Amino acid sequence: MSSDIILETRGLVKEFKGFVAVNGVNLKVQRGTIHALIGPNGAGKTTCFNLLTKFLEPTRGTILLEGSDITHEKPAQVARRGMVRSFQISSTFPHMSVLENVRVALQPTLGTAFNFWQSSRTLDQLNGRCMELLDHVGLASFAHLQASELPYGRKRALEIATTLAMDPKLLLLDEPTQGMGHEDVELVTQLIQKVAADRTVLMVEHNMSVVGQIADTITVLQFGEVIAEGAYAEVSRNPKVLEAYMGSTDEALEGIGE
């Protein structure tokens, strides 16, 4: 595998009692890019994502991360290799402060993740790094606010900050702008661009305007198979893609999912 390919799948298949949800997907994610996985409802995007992050075992096929076969590894093993997933549903601790949420994510760096009897003061040494991460995602001024009080878009920013605390090489984002108004979509879109500056991002995203704005490469799935791949300008005019989304090749793809 070429060193500029950080993640690759070969003939990836997932069957559920005879139903083929992912069918022979070959995917190559280039290091240092934003790669989007899109497709209409039921295309197999989430199943594919769950295979990549090891929440599902493939029926057949191979998954390679930096050339190493991770097909049968567990999610924690894959995370330790530097592939970290942010979930579709915000998974912050609502009754902890914004800073405390990030501090929990950083705690394993001290080697005290399971020493629950230790004083919380031992974690204060992490506060500097916490503030760096919060500043990076635009949340430094919210550090002492309870996470539940954050607006929705800021909660997603906090979740991304906790994910960045694990220092990922490859960040997987599952529908990062789902359920957001225009203002929050803009905030999170800009944040994804910012965090992608020195790492690779693979994202499942329904909002085509977001995809068109920031994705370097787009892979389109339909019925579990790849039907197109390339830059937005190319993919958005592909007859197969237009047919999959619109049921017609006579309409433009622009703005689907907004």
Dump pLDDT digits (tens) for 153-212: 899 899 999 888 888 999 999 888 888 888 899 999 999 999 898 899 999 988 888 999
pLDDT band at 119 (very low <50, low <70, confident <90, very high): very low
Architecture per CATH, 1-82+169-258: 3-Layer(aba) Sandwich (3.40)
Q: How many whole angstroms separate alpha carbon 49 and alpha carbon 46?
A: 5
The domain locations on the chain are 1-82+169-258, 92-167
Alpha helix segments (H runs only) across the chain: 45-52, 75-80, 98-106, 127-136, 152-164, 182-195, 208-214, 232-235, 239-246
| pTM of the shown model | 0.86
Residue 213 and residue 222: Cα distance in Å, rounded? Answer: 22
The answer to whether the CB of 167 falls within 8 A of the CB of 108 is no
Asked if residue 89 has pLDDT above 50, the reply is no
